[in-house]
Amino acid sequence: MAILAALSIFSFFGIGGGWEKKVAKKLVEAYEKEHVLRRYKDQIRSYWDDTAAAFAATSDALEQEWQGFLAAQKQMVQDATKEDLEALLDAGDRLKSFLNDIPMPEAGSSTERG
C-alpha cells in the first residue's frame, strides 16, 4: 500500500517539474470549460459601457446647468442698471484689494509651529 501511494505521488510530481505542467494544463482546461476569459471580457466591457453611459449623463447634466448659468448671467446683465454694474465693479475691486493684502508665506519656505 505504501509503495502504491509513493508511486502515485511520484507519478504526479514526477521528475523535472512535470507536475507544474500538469497543474497548469488542468487550470487551462478548467478556465476554458468555465469560459473564464469570455466572462472577464464581458465584465470589462460592461464596466466601460456603464462608465461611458454615466459620463454621458453627467456631462449632459453639467451642460444644462452651464447653459442655465449663462442664461441667468445674461439676464442679470440685461436687467442691470448702470448703478448696479458700478456697484458690482466696486465690490470686485474691494475683494481684489482684500485678497492682495493677505500675507502669504514665501514660496518654498517652511513655517514652524511651536
Q: Which residues of the chain have pLDDT under 50?
A: 114
CA distances to 76, 93, 105 from 100, rounded to whole Å, are 28, 10, 13
DSSP state of 25: H
Q: How many whole angstroms separate alpha carbon 88 and alpha carbon 94?
A: 10
pLDDT digits (tens, 9 = 90+) for 16-34: 557 778 888 888 999 899 9
DSSP letter for each residue of 89-113: HHHHHHHHHHHHTS--PPTT-----
pLDDT at 7: 62
pLDDT at 11: 66
